[in-house]
Chain A
Amino acid sequence: MSAEDITAGERTGPPRGGAAGGRAGVSGGRAGEAGGPDGHARAPGPLARTLARVDAALDRLYGSRYNPLLQSGPIAVALLLVLLVTGIYLLLFYRIGDPHGSTARIAGQAWTGSWIRSLHRFSSDAALVAVAVHALRMFARRRTWGARALAWLSGLALVGLFGLIAVTGFVMAWDVQGQVLAEEGARLLDALPVFAEPVGRTFIGERPLPGAFFFLNYFLHIAVPLGVGALLYVHVSRVARPVLLPPRGLGWGLVGLLVLLAVAWPAPLGPAADPARLVTSAPFDWFFGAWLPVSRALPAWAVWAAGGAAVLAAVAVPVLTRPAPAARPAPSRVDPATCTGCEQCVIDCPWEAIALVARAPGDPRPGPVARVDPAACVSCGICAGSCAPMGVGPPGRTGRDQVARVREFLAARAPGPRDVVLVACSSGPGGLERLGAAGGAAAAGDAVARGGTIPWPVSCAGSLHTSVVELLLRGGAGGVVIAACPARDCWNREGTKWAEQRLFHDREAELQARVERRRVRWVEAGAGRPEVVAAAVAELRAEIATLPGPAAERAPEPDLACETAADRSVETVG
Chain B
Amino acid sequence: MSAARRVAAAIVALAAVAGLGFLSRAPLPAADPGEAALRLSWRLRGEEAGECRFPTAAELEDLPPHMRNPDACAVVVPPYRLTAEVDGRPLVDARVEARGAHGDRPLFVYRDLRLPAGTHAVRIRFAPDGGPDGGPDEGDADGRSGDEEDTAPLVLHIEETLTLGPGDVLLVTRHPDTGALEVRRPRG
Contact = CB atoms under 8 A, between A and B. Distances in A.
Interface of A: 58, 60-63, 121-122, 125-126, 129, 176-177, 180, 190, 195-198, 200-201, 204-208, 253, 257-258, 260-261, 265, 267-268, 272-287, 289, 292-293, 296
Nearest to B23: A286
A267 B169 contact: no
A281 B5 contact: no
A180 B28 CA distance: 10
Give the interface centre of B1, B21, B169 by most chain A CB atoms within 10 Å. Answer: B21
B142 interface: no
9 contacts: A125-B23, A201-B41, A253-B13, A275-B188, A276-B187, A278-B169, A279-B31, A283-B25, A293-B28
A272 B17 CA distance: 27
Given A197-B108, A276-B169, 17 more contacts: A61-B12, A177-B28, A201-B108, A204-B171, A205-B171, A205-B186, A206-B42, A206-B171, A260-B17, A265-B18, A273-B188, A276-B168, A277-B169, A280-B31, A281-B27, A281-B29, A284-B26
Interface stretch (B32-40, B58-66, B128-136, B144-152): B32-40
Contacts of A177: 28
Nearest to B37: A278
A281 B20 contact: no
Given A260-B17, A275-B186, A280 B33 contact: yes
Contacts of B73: none
A471 B18 CA distance: 54
B33 to A, nearest CB: 5
B24 A287 contact: yes
B20 to A, nearest CB: 6
Interface residues of B, number: 45
Contacts of B68: none
Q: Which of B36, B100, B106, B187 has the most CB of A within 10 A?
A: B187
A282 B33 CA distance: 12
A273 B186 CA distance: 12
Contacts of A200: 110
Contacts of A258: 17
B169 A205 contact: yes
Contacts, number: 136
B25 A275 contact: no
Contact of B24 (A61, A122, A257, A273): A122
B110 A190 contact: yes
B24 A286 contact: yes
Nearest to B34: A280
A275 B14 CA distance: 38
Nearest to A197: B108
A276 B168 CA distance: 6
A204 B38 CA distance: 11
Nearest to A257: B17
B31 A278 contact: yes
A283 B26 contact: yes
Given A204-B171, A257-B13, A126 B27 contact: no
A356 B188 CA distance: 67
B30 interface: yes
Nearest to B110: A198
A46 to B, nearest CB: 24
A503 B171 CA distance: 76
Interface of B: 1, 5, 8-9, 12-14, 17-18, 20-21, 23-33, 35-37, 39, 41-43, 99-100, 105-106, 108, 110, 166-169, 171, 173, 185-188
Contacts of A208: 187
A278 B188 contact: no
A205 B171 CA distance: 8
Contact of A268 (B14, B25, B106): B25
Which secondary structure characterizes the binding site on chain B?
mixed
A125 B24 contact: yes
A176 B30 CA distance: 10
Would you list the 3 A-B pairs with minimal beta carbon distance, nearest first? A205-B186, A284-B28, A275-B186
Contacts of B41: 201, 204, 206
Contacts of B105: 196-197
B28 A282 contact: yes
B17 to A, nearest CB: 5
Given A204-B39, A204-B186, A122 B21 contact: yes
Nearest to A187: B112
Contacts of A289: 28
Contact of A286 (B26, B42, B169): B26
Contact of A280 (B18, B26, B32, B99): B32
Contact of B35 (A197, A261, A278): A278
A267 B188 contact: no
A428 B100 CA distance: 59
B24 A277 contact: no
A177 B41 CA distance: 23
B76 to A, nearest CB: 15
A273 B24 CA distance: 18
Nearest to B14: A257
A253 B12 CA distance: 13
Contacts of A253: 13
Nearest to A190: B110
A207 B146 CA distance: 15
A283 B169 contact: no
A287 B30 contact: no
B123 to A, nearest CB: 21
A285 B14 CA distance: 19
B167 A280 contact: yes
Contacts of A204: 39, 41, 110, 169, 171, 186
Contacts of B23: 125, 285-287
Contacts of B188: 205, 272-276
Nearest to B100: A196
A62 B16 CA distance: 14
Nearest to B114: A278
Nearest to A60: B5
B110 A201 contact: yes
Given A276-B168, A276-B169, A121 B24 contact: yes
B135 to A, nearest CB: 23
A81 B32 CA distance: 40
Nearest to B36: A278
Contact of B30 (A180, A272, A273): A180
Nearest to A57: B12
Nearest to A268: B25
Nearest to B164: A278
Contacts of B100: 196
Given A205-B169, A207-B187, A260-B17, A285 B24 contact: yes
B156 to A, nearest CB: 15
A275 B39 CA distance: 10
